[in-house]
Chains A and B, each alone.
Chain A
C-alpha cells in the first residue's frame, strides 16, 4: 500500500530475527477523522529509528498505540516475532516498551539515586521498608558508570541538574528496568550543544554497545540526523518515506515529503485506504 513510496529501498528490513518490533496496517479513526491509515513499520534490534511528521500527521497517535495508551482499530503489532496487544500503558511496559518524557519522569526533590530506584527501592526490615541507601548509591553509581552517564553527584537533588543530565537519568532509569524498546519524545528539546552531546552519546552507546532499540519522536531534522540510524516519515496517517540516515539528507527528505504532499493533493486528498 505504501510500498510505492517507502519502497524496497535502502531501509528495508534485514533478517527476521533482527526485527524486534513490527507493525502491520495499524489503523485508527476518531469519529470521521482517520488518524492512521495502515502504518507498516519495523524496528531492528539495537537500532535508533526516528519518526518524523507534521502535527496531525498521526505520529503521536501511532506512538500512543505503541505505548498501550490506546488500542488500534485494526492492524497487528509483533514484538520479537510474537503478536501482542497492549491493553494499558502498564501492559506495554511489562512487555518492555518504555517511554521517556524529560519532565514527567523524575521527581525534582529526590536525589539522582532515589529517582533511579523510585518504587524499586532496595530495603530491609520487611514491611517497614528501611532504605538501604548505601547499597542503592553504590548500585546507582555502578550502573551509571556502566552506561557512561556522567552525573556529577549521585546525592544531588535532580532539580539541581541540567536538562541533559535529567534526560540522561530518565533514560538510565528506563533502561535499568529491563526496557527492550525505548520511546524518546523530543529528547533534545531545549538543550544546548553540550547538553545534546551528552544525550547523543548516551543514545549511541545504548544502541551500539548494549543493543537497546529506540524510537525517537521529533520534528527537528538536525536532532534526528544526529540521533538516528533510520528515519520514517509519517504523512496523512501512513509511513511515506523510509530511509537510512547515512543514505539521505535533509534536502532529499524534504523533497520526498513535498512530492508526497503534491501527490496527495493531485489525487484529491482522500486516499482510498486498504
Chain B
C-alpha cells in the first residue's frame, strides 16, 4: 500500500508532499495573488491616494460621512447579492424593493397605522416579495434574471400607481429610535457593517452557507447529497429582499422624501458591480462579502472624488465604466495567475 503521508499535515503543520502550492510556505506574491479581494483593495487604495493628492477635503469628517451614507446601501445590497451570485443566480429586483419599501411604510402610515407597525408589515412584505422571486425560479424554472427583472418592473408600476406619481415626505420617528433608524449620520453605515457581517458569517461559518456554495458550485451533487437546493435558493432571495427593503427604509428616513420616479436598476447595478469587482464570480460557487464591501467603498470614493475635484458629472459615468472594465480585466488576469501559483 502506498505511503500514508496524509492530510493530518494540514493541522499539524507538516507540509504534505506533492502539493507545494498550499502545503509549503507560501510566497508573499502567491498569497496576495490568491486572495480574491486583492484587485479591489489595490484599486481602492489607488483612488484613495489619487483623490487625497488632488483635494484636501477627502478626509474631512463631513466628507467621510457623505461617502459612508452613499456606500451603506450599496454594501448591503451587494453583500446580499453575493448570496445569489454564489448560487449562480441574480436578484435585479433588489433596487426596486429598496425603493418600494419606504412607499409601503408611507402608504400604511397614511392609512393611520403606527409607524413601527408600518415598518414591520413592510419588512414582512419584502420577505414575501423575495419568496415570490425564489418560488417562481424554483417551481416554474423561470431564470432569476427574468423573474427578478419582471418583479422589478411590477413594483415600479405599483409605486407609480399607488403614489399617483407624486413625490411625498417620508414619515419618520424621533428620539433614540429615530437616530438609530437613519437620522443619526452614522446609523446607516453602522447598520450596513452589521448586516454585511451577519451575511458574511452566514455564508462562511454556517451550514446554510456551505449549502449555498454547494448549490451554486454543483447543484446536482448538492441535491444528490440531500441538500434542499430549492429551499436554499428561496431563502437567499428572501434575505436579499429583506436586506434591500430595510436599507431602503433607513435611507428614505435619512433623506426624508420619497420619489416614485427613481429606477431600481440604478440602485441594484452598482451593488452588483461592487460584488463583482470585489471578486465574486458570476458563474457561481464563489463569493466574497469583504471584497463586496470594499467594492462599495471604491464606487463611493470614485463618485465622491470626482465631485470634490469638480470633474463634470458628464465625465463621471465614462470614467466609471472604464475603471470597472480595467478592474475586471485585472481581476481575471490575477485569477489565471492564482491558478498557476496554486499548482
Question: Is A150 within 8 A of B4, CB to CB?
Answer: yes
Chain A residues with CB below 8 A from B217, complex form: 107-110
Interface CB pairs A-B, < 8 A, 26: A107-B222, A107-B285, A108-B217, A108-B218, A109-B213, A114-B210, A118-B210, A118-B227, A119-B211, A119-B214, A119-B226, A129-B207, A130-B207, A131-B210, A141-B11, A144-B6, A145-B8, A150-B5, A150-B6, A151-B7, A152-B19, A153-B9, A155-B22, A160-B21, A160-B343, A198-B2
Binary interface encoding of chain A residues 160-175 relative to chain B, with 1 for a CB under 8 A from any of its CBs, else 0:
1000000000000000
Interface pair B221/A107, CB less than 8 Å apart: yes
Q: Name, among A110, A119, A134, A155, the residue most crowded by chain B CB atoms within 10 Å (CB to CB).
A: A119
Q: Are B221 and A105 in contact (CB under 8 A)?
A: yes
Instruction: Judge whether B206 and A119 touch: CB under 8 Å.
Output: no
Q: Which residues of B contact A134 (CB under 8 A)?
A: 11
Contact: A138 with B11, CB < 8 Å? yes
A-B complex: 10 closest residue pairs judged by Cβ atoms: A152-B19, A129-B207, A109-B285, A154-B7, A109-B217, A107-B217, A152-B16, A119-B225, A118-B225, A107-B218
Q: Specify which chain A residues have a CB less than 8 angstroms from the CB of B6 in the assembled complex.
A: 141, 144-145, 149-151
Question: Is A121 on the interface with B (CB-CB < 8 A)?
Answer: yes
Q: Is A112 an interface residue (CB 8 A)?
A: yes
Q: Flag whether B335 is at the interface (Cβ < 8 A).
A: no
B343 in contact with A140 (CB, 8 Å) = no
B171 on interface, CB distance cutoff 8 Å: no
In the complex, whether B3 has a CB less than 8 A from a CB of chain A is yes
Q: Which of chain A's residues have a CB closer than 8 A to the CB of B225?
A: 118-119
For A144, list chain B residues within 8 Å (CB).
6-7
A104 at the interface (CB under 8 A from B): yes
Task: State whether B207 touches A160 (Cβ < 8 A).
Answer: no
Kindly provide the distance from the CB of B49 to the nearest chain A CB, expressed in whole angstroms: 34
A30 to B9, CA, bound (A): 53
**B224 at interface, CB cutoff 8 A:** yes
- When chains A and B are docked, how far (Å) is the Cα of A70 from the Cα of B1? 38
Contact A118 B222, CB 8 Å, known A110-B217, A130-B206 = yes
**Residue pair A106, B22 in contact (C-beta under 8 Å):** no
Q: Which residues of A sit under 8 angstroms from B285, Cβ to Cβ?
A: 107-109
Given A150-B6, A153-B16, A160-B342, 8 additional A-B pairs, CB 8 A = A104-B220, A107-B218, A118-B225, A119-B225, A121-B210, A131-B205, A145-B6, A148-B4
Complex contact A197–B210 (CB within 8 A): no
In the complex the two chains form, what is the Cα distance from A118 to B3 in whole Å? Answer: 27
Is B10 engaged at the interface, CB distance under 8 Å to the other chain? yes
Whole-angstrom distance from the CB of B227 to the nearest CB of chain A? 5
Closest to B8 in A: A141
Tell me which residues across on chain B come within 8 A of A105, comparing CB atoms.
Answer: 221, 224
CB-contact partner of A140 in B7, B22, B222, under 8 A? B7
**A residues less than 8 Å from B178 (CB atoms):** none
B175 near A: Cβ within 8 Å? no
Check: B230 CB closer than 8 A to any chain A CB. Answer: no
Q: Complex Cα distance A5/B11, Å? A: 56
Residues of B within 8 A of A150 (CB): 2-6
A128 CA to B218 CA, complexed, in Å = 23
- Determine if B213 and A107 form an interchain contact, defined as CB atoms under 8 angstroms apart: yes
Complex Cα spacing A155 to B227, Å: 21
A226 to chain B, nearest CB (A): 15
Question: Least Cβ distance of A148 to chain B in Å?
Answer: 6
Cβ-defined partner of B218 (8 Å) among A106, A141, A155 = A106
What 1/0 mask marks residues of chain A from 92 to 109 whose CB sits below 8 Å from any chain B CB?
000000000000111111
B310 within 8 A of A: no
Give bound CA distance, A141 to B8, whole Å.
Answer: 6
Measured CB to CB, the closest approach of chain B to A209, in angstroms, equals: 9
B217 to chain A, nearest CB (A): 4
The answer, yes or no, to whether B180 is at the interface (CB within 8 Å) is: no
Q: Which residues of A contact B342 (CB under 8 A)?
A: 160
- Inter-chain CA distance A145–B1, complex, in Å, is 12
Do the beta carbons of A141 and B7 come within 8 Å of each other? Answer: yes
Q: Which of B198-233 contact A (CB under 8 A)?
A: 205-208, 210-211, 213-214, 216-218, 220-222, 224-227
Chain B hits for A264, CB < 8 A: none
Residues of chain A within 8 A (CB-CB) of B2 are 148, 150, 197-198, 201
CA distance A114 to B216 in the complex (A): 14
Give the residue name and chain of the B residue nearest to A133 (CB): B205
Chain B residues, CB < 8 A from A140: 7
Chain A residues 14 to 58 lying within 8 A of chain B, measured CB to CB, are none
B18 at the interface (CB under 8 A from A): yes
Q: Which of A90, A110, A156 contacts B19 (CB 8 A)?
A: A156
The reply to whether B10 and A154 contact each other, CB–CB distance below 8 Å, is: yes
Within B219-251, the residues touching A (CB, 8 Å) are: 220-222, 224-227
Is A137 on the interface with B (CB-CB < 8 A)? Answer: yes
